[in-house]
Amino acid sequence: MLEIRNLVVKIADEDKQILNGLNLTVNDGEVAAIMGPNGSGKSTLSYVIAGKEDYEVLDGEILLDGENVLEMEADARAAAGIFLAFQYPLEIPGVATMTFLKAAMNAQRRARGEAELLTPDFIKAVNGAADRLSIDKAMLRRPLNVGFSGGEKKRMEILQMALLAPSMCILDETDSGLDIDALRIVSEGVNALRDAKRGFLVITHYQRLLDHIIPDTVHVMSKGKIVKTGGKELALELEKSGYAAYGEAA
Ligand code: ADP
Ligand code: MG
Ligand code: MG
């Protein structure tokens, strides 16, 4: 369970406040969507939860299963079960995708005091997840994300998510730049990971993704706060009315 209370955040080396007293709860097993105009602070929220360094928290708290996330380094947050799938996955030349995946899984296991994965078990896990996400195994031998299409990068993010089995999955505009087939594959990958324990925070500007990943809750974010909360029908309302009422030109 993720609880965010009165979160106030500014850019570290600027006088720019971006989150202005944000409150949000994501329960175990809940798929919560956040929708909102560009610039409302959605990516900032996901970065602050994941522990990116460029931000300064001025007030408020973030608790994961009652533990104070803000006191943890980014790697400790990942070990505790927080996973962020990026809006723009980075290309990492020189690091083979397989090497990266194994390092990520073993870092998580070490932080949890678990033994490192044996190579045959790792290969089996990756191959199984790659098959389920329609990822070409040749991609796994290439440097991470280098030369991957937009859809391939997003599928790679979901593959990482499947392998790390986080308790709190944050997807920041994972739908941007996806064609309908890639959107369906990514959504099926997410839906396959839904269970009674795992929470999801699905951030999107468009309603389209939420036709495929049906949320339990929809929050509207504007100017660094959650300003409205409803059920999945709220996404459809927003699709019709646009964000004009929330500070974005129609
Ligand atoms: P969203 O994801 O909803 O589009 P962002 O969190 O990306 O919103 O951005 C919120 C606001 O903060 C925007 O005005 C953006 O320009 C600004 N911002 C975000 N990150 C930085 C940064 N590292 N430096 C300066 N401004 C930033
Ligand atoms: Mg944006
Ligand atoms: Mg964003």
Ligand 1 atom with least separation from CA of 45: 6
Residue 92, both tokens: 């990492």
The set of protein residues with a Cβ atom below 6 angstroms from ligand 1 is 11, 14, 16, 18, 36, 38-44, 54
What residues does each domain of the chain span? Answer: 2-246
Alpha carbon of 135 to ligand 3 centroid (Å): 26
Closest CA to 189 of 140, 130, 127, 232: 130
Identify the pLDDT of residue 250. 46
Kindly identify the ligand whose nearest atom is closest to the C-alpha of 41.
1
What is the three-class DSSP state of 54? coil
State pLDDT tens for residues 49-103.
999 999 999 999 999 999 999 999 988 999 899 999 987 888 999 999 999 999 9
Could you tell me if 92 and 100 are in contact, meaning their C-beta atoms sit under 8 angstroms apart?
yes
CB atoms within 10 A of CB 199: 24
* Cα–Cα distance measured from residue 123 to residue 243, given in angstroms and rounded to the nearest whole number: 45
Below-50 pLDDT ranges, the chain = 250
Closest CA to 214 of 228, 232, 229, 230: 232
Identify the pLDDT of residue 39. 94
Identify the pLDDT of residue 249. 55
pTM score, whole prediction: 0.92
Instruction: Tell the residue number behind the tokens 């079960």, with chain if given.
Output: 81
- The verdict on domain 2-246 having CATH code 3.90.1410.10 is no
Number of H helices, E strands in the chain: 9, 12
